Amino acid sequence: MKITKEIIQRIEGEATLELEWENERVNFAKIKFFNYRGIEEILQKRPLLDALVLTPRVCGICSHSHAMASVLAMESLLANTGEVLHVSQKAKDIREIALNAEKIHNHIKWYFFTILPELKKIADPSYEGNAFKEKLWYHAQQAVMESLSMGSHFSGQWPHGSFVMPGGVTCDPLKSDVINALGYLDRVIAFCEEHLYGMELEEFLSFDSALQVMSAPCALAYGIDEMLKYGFDSLGRSYDRFLALGESFMYEGALKASKTTVLSADIKYVHESLDHTFFADKYKGYTYSKSALYKKSYFEVGPLARLMVAKEPLMRDFHRRFKDAVLTRVVARVIECAHLLSRTKTLLLELNLKEPSFSPPKQDIHTLSGEGMGVIEAPRGTLIHQVSAHHGMIKSYNIITPTVWNLGNGDRDNPATAQKALIGLNSFTKADFILKSFDVCSVCTTQ
Amino acid sequence: MEHAKLYERLAERLSNLEKFPRIKEEKSIAALMEEHGISRRDFMKWAAGVTAMLSLPSEFTPLMAQAAELTDRLPVVWLHMAECTGCSESLLRTDAPTIDSLIFDHISLEYHETLMVAAGWQAEHNLESAIEKYKGKFILMVEGGIPAGSSEFFLTVGPHGQTGQKSAQKAADAAAAIFAIGSCSSFGGIQAAHPNPTNAQPLSKVTNKPVINVPGCPPSEKNIVGNVLHYILFGTLPALDAYNRPKWAYGLRIHDLCERRGHFDAGEFVQEFGDAGAKKGFCLYKVGCKGPYTFNNCSRERFNQHTSWPVQAGHGCIGCSEPGFWDNMGPFEEPLGDRLYHTVYGEGADKTADKVGVALLTATAVGIAAHAAIAAVKGSGKTEE
């Protein structure tokens, strides 16, 4: 049996993929993450509110997501002690706008700077294209910047804005901020319409058949064509089980799981496994990444899961044709991006500036004791923050990131989601691409 | 040095640099800009902005433009240590008309794990060959704190399982200039916060060569790019403060040019988030702003294409460009001089922080009005509790 190890590049942070081969096929895969920082330990014995500043630093790509999960955990802690905060609709909308900016930027960046160059490299191994050396890349980079500038009118900066507090948001935007933000958003939409979708957003969102989007001359159709060419429509399939625990405008309520049909899900069935980590066994462990399971099973989280839970018509058509293959997973991000652009525009247009940004909690946060949990849908999927506090100080803090759901390590008889997608492949290049289709982020996986 | 002399010296340096061959025979930056639809006029506007940012007189603008055009003579190696990739992200959020990003494209970014296409053995080979080929010539930029081994938690990178510390050392030994990008690389960062589970260290602790610290969590893209241009212009290290931060960027406090400074001087404070003062944009000192203790140019340069910055969004500065700020500046939503409850250091440390805070603030204050304002803050804080 042959074993190959490769360091995976052009992801956030570092990861190593170790493949075990038998008869020229991948028999088993180990996904290894090495850069542990210990943020959960560092959070202990600090004042509760400091988590709002510390947790965004878990990840430079999803910093707002962490701030948001953190603030929801604190609000649920307050609720558990009997105080249900009234967070104004305006504050909720501003939080969603900032979070959407992060998701939109992530999807555009990932599609143009990870997926497309990777596909070009598969077509031509000598392709040396740096992410920023072609005109289309340059325009995509502009769009990425513009989506973040849109959000930073409310969040102050990106990455690592501190603008949420239990009870609302700290910013008090003016009408001019909203108009400016709309200006930025319109430019992002214009880029996506011209280059990504090859048509107007509205038209794209009205489709319910894969064939309708495969014919337009655009970056999406190019990607789909390339993926079809190399068989990615049938490769990289995993369990076909989806989970989206955070709330979304696309489906009613929260806590949903889906295996083609939607079941109701409950957070109490989530558990984190330490198998194969250095924490469980210093010598036998091989990664710092834990694994997250729901009812002892591995589920896929992320845009594909969200759209499946929401029964989005276009997504369901892709899924009907290709199941949870790489192609479906990649297309999901692009479809979700369209919904987010349109939703964010509505939010900005309807934002009621007359409402208060912030309603302070009645209890003194410095004396709070209890537990709370915040669950949100981050760019890469379900993100959970669990906090336990004693007299206003953090006793313990647990973070379950989306990549822990997708990129954990299971066993040979029960591989984790990404592992399962890799088994049976016949080339490293394909394995690398399939791993990247989960939008790998090692910095948040290991914290 | 007099301006005329300095100008002459820089011009001479640039014309010498011009004689060096380009690293890659690609398009000149002028051609590249034209291709992207950026006019010479836009470019000169940008150059004037950077000139001002580096505190150089405006007649140096043509030199700045020339320096930018010469960036393709300069290889850069960017290493990731224990970090969140936020600094790379910040770097990529460059200013309008995004000439900075063009420059980072145009300069020979020989090795950048997040951006490059190569993987596996190829990637490691690229790093080794870049270090070998440009020995003594390249700029090394390191992002992230460096886990220093004596803990059981290591950072190992690549098929050879080399520790982060070792690759940073190796690269530093061969570099012409070394920049620690971000607070993690400069001072250890979040992973070095108490109890520092991975024994993370600043870059300067693992090499004996001079390291220029460009702290911030993240530093603004302008501070990163500005340092490169400064190095090209002068060929020497910039003037540094006590923490090895370039004075042109970290010479003033956030407080000094803050848009809410007038309210501080007038004693108008946000008492708690969401109150009437917050709506009027009053000073955030009482809800924890660390601007008076923090040296950086955020209040002038801002973030995300000059869109905004934390204080504009109604949250205080957290002091992210100061050494050990995770431990020294917390709790983040409380005034530094007003801490009343236990911290990880116990109660005693509060008193010291209090003294330091007041001393610093006193030094900062422009006059009696500010003193009065601080007194008002401290007084009312106590009665409220």
For A34-44, how does the pLDDT look when each residue is reduced to its tens digit (9 = 90+)? 778 899 999 99
Max Cα distance, chain B (Å): 69
Of B89, B190, B195, which is closest to A57 when you measure between CB atoms?
A: B190
Q: What is the pLDDT of residue B96?
A: 39
Between A401 and B165, name the one with better pLDDT: A401
Q: What is the pLDDT of residue B54?
A: 75
pLDDT(A163) > 70: yes
* Range with the largest mean pLDDT of A133-142, A207-216, A389-398: A389-398
Cβ distance of B85 and A12 shorter than 8 Å: yes
Q: What is the pLDDT of residue B58?
A: 83
Segment 262-281 of chain B within 8 Å of chain A by CB:
272-274, 278-279, 281
Over residues A392-415, the mean pLDDT reads: 93
Q: What is the pLDDT of residue B1?
A: 57
Max Cα distance, chain A (Å): 67
CA distance A428 to A5: 10
pLDDT(B30) > 80: no
pLDDT band for position B98 (50/70/90)? Answer: low
Residue A38 zone, left/alpha/beta (φ > 0; ψ -120 to 50; rest): left
pLDDT band for position B350 (50/70/90)? Answer: very low
Over chain A, what is the mean pLDDT? Answer: 90
Q: Mutation test of the interface with chain A: which of B102, B308, B327, B332, choosing the one with the most A Cβ atoms within 10 A? A: B308
Over residues B11-28, the mean pLDDT reads: 72
Q: Compute φ and ψ for A333, nearest 5 degrees.
A: -65, -40
pLDDT band for position B117 (50/70/90)? Answer: very low
pLDDT band for position A104 (50/70/90)? Answer: very high
pLDDT(B126) > 90: no
Q: What is the pLDDT of residue A437?
A: 92
For residue A46, the chain B residues in CB contact (below 8 A) are: 330-331, 344
Over residues A195-208, the mean pLDDT reads: 96
Q: Within 10 A of B280 (CB to CB), how many other CB atoms are there?
A: 12
pLDDT(B20) > 80: no
Pairing state between β B177-181 and B139-143: parallel
Decide: residue A312, CB within 10 A, 0-12 exposed, 13-18 middle, 19+ buried: buried
Contact B72, B31 (CB under 8 A): no
Q: What is the pLDDT of residue A410?
A: 93
Q: What is the pLDDT of residue B375?
A: 45
Of A50, A160, A172, which is closest to B331 when you measure between CB atoms?
A: A50
Contact A11, A446 (CB under 8 A): no
pLDDT(A257) > 70: no
Contact A142, B295 (CB under 8 A): no
- A247-256, B51-60, B355-364: lowest mean pLDDT where? B355-364
Q: What is the pLDDT of residue A193?
A: 97
Task: Return all residues near B275 (Cβ < 8 A) that are at least 6 apart.
Answer: none
Q: What is the pLDDT of residue B188?
A: 93
Q: What is the pLDDT of residue B343?
A: 38
pLDDT(B371) > 50: no
Contact B29, B68 (CB under 8 A): yes
- A93-97, A128-132, B252-256: lowest mean pLDDT where? A128-132
Task: Return all residues near A329 (Cβ < 8 A) that are at least 6 apart.
Answer: A236, A302, A304, A437, A438
pLDDT(B84) > 90: no
Handedness of CA A294, A300, A305, A309 (dihedral sign): negative
Between B154 and A325, name the one with better pLDDT: A325
Contact B17, B210 (CB under 8 A): no
Q: Is A285 on the interface with B (CB under 8 A)?
A: no
HEC profile for chain B?
Answer: CCHHHHHHHHHHHHHHHHCCCCCCCCCCHHHHHHHCCCCHHHHHHHHHHHHHHCCCCHHHHHHHHHHHHHHHHCEEEEEECECCCHHHHHHHCCCCCCHHHHHHHHCEEEEECCCCCCCHHHHHHHHHHHHHHCCCCCEEEEECEEECCCCCCCCEECCCCEEHHHHHHHHHHHCCEEEEEHHHHHHCCHHHCCCCCCCEECHHHCCCCCCEEECCCCCCHHHHHHHHHHHHHHCCCCCECCCCCEHHHHCCEHHHHCCCHHHHHCCCECCCCCCHHHHHCCECHHHCCCHHHCECCHHHHCECCCCECCCCCCCCCCCCCCCCHHHHCCCCCCCHHHCCCCCCCCCHHHHHHHHHHHHHHHHHCCCHHHHHHHHHHHHHHHHHC
Cβ distance of B310 and A156 shorter than 8 Å: yes
CA distance B168 to B147: 11
Q: What is the pLDDT of residue A126?
A: 82
For B191-213, how does the pLDDT look when each residue is reduced to its tens digit (9 = 90+)? 999 999 888 999 999 999 999 99
Per DSSP, what are the bridge partners of residue B181?
B143, B214
- A324-328, B210-214, B371-375: lowest mean pLDDT where? B371-375
Between A309 and A6, name the one with better pLDDT: A309
% of chain A residues with pLDDT over 90 = 68
Give me the total of CB pairs closer than 8 Å, taking one residue from chain A and one from chain B.
Answer: 255
User: How far A282 CA sits from the closest chain B CA (Å)?
Assistant: 9
Q: What is the pLDDT of residue B226?
A: 81
**Which pair of structure tokens corresponds to residue A48?**
């509760």
- A84-88, B53-57, B250-254, B381-385: lowest mean pLDDT where? B381-385
% of chain B residues with pLDDT over 90 = 27
**Which pair of structure tokens corresponds to residue A151?**
């959000």
Cβ distance of B119 and A282 shorter than 8 Å: no
Q: What is the pLDDT of residue B167?
A: 84
User: How far A418 CA sits from the closest chain B CA (Å)?
Assistant: 19
Q: What is the pLDDT of residue B374?
A: 46
Over residues A405-432, the mean pLDDT reads: 93
Contact A68, A374 (CB under 8 A): yes
pLDDT(A172) > 90: yes
CA distance A277 to A279: 5
pLDDT band for position B353 (50/70/90)? Answer: very low
CA distance B149 to A6: 23
- A29-43, B202-216, B312-326, B338-352: lowest mean pLDDT where? B338-352
Q: What is the pLDDT of residue B70?
A: 76
- A116-130, A228-242, B157-171, B200-214: lowest mean pLDDT where? B157-171
pLDDT(A142) > 50: yes
Cβ distance of A12 and B159 shorter than 8 Å: no
Over residues B48-62, the mean pLDDT reads: 80
Q: What is the pLDDT of residue B349?
A: 34
Segment 106-135 of chain B within 8 Å of chain A by CB:
109, 113-121, 123-124
pLDDT band for position B132 (50/70/90)? Answer: confident
Q: What is the pLDDT of residue B280?
A: 93
Over chain B, what is the mean pLDDT? Answer: 76
**Which pair of structure tokens corresponds to residue A248?**
């979304």
Segment 45-104 of chain B within 8 Å of chain A by CB:
80-90, 92-94, 98, 101, 104
Question: What's the alpha-carbon Rg for chain B, to the nearest Å?
Answer: 22
Between A256 and A207, name the one with better pLDDT: A207
Of A45, A148, A163, which is closest to B313 when you measure between CB atoms?
A: A163
pLDDT(B376) > 80: no
Nearest Cα residue to B31 out of A129, A127, A135: A135
Q: Mutation test of the interface with chain A: which of B315, B328, B338, B345, choosing the one with the most A Cβ atoms within 10 A? A: B315
Q: What is the pLDDT of residue B115?
A: 55
Q: Is A379 on the interface with B (CB under 8 A)?
A: no
Per DSSP, what are the bridge partners of residue A270?
A294
CA distance B47 to B40: 10
CA distance A11 to A436: 8
**Which pair of structure tokens corresponds to residue A24?**
């020229």
Per DSSP, what are the bridge partners of residue B139?
B76, B177
Over residues B119-141, the mean pLDDT reads: 75
**Which pair of structure tokens corresponds to residue A107?**
């999807």
Q: What is the pLDDT of residue B23?
A: 63
Contact A265, A308 (CB under 8 A): no
Q: Mutation test of the interface with chain B: which of A11, A150, A170, A357, choosing the one with the most B Cβ atoms within 10 A? A: A170
Contact A351, A360 (CB under 8 A): no
Q: What is the pLDDT of residue B227?
A: 82
CA distance A197 to B328: 49
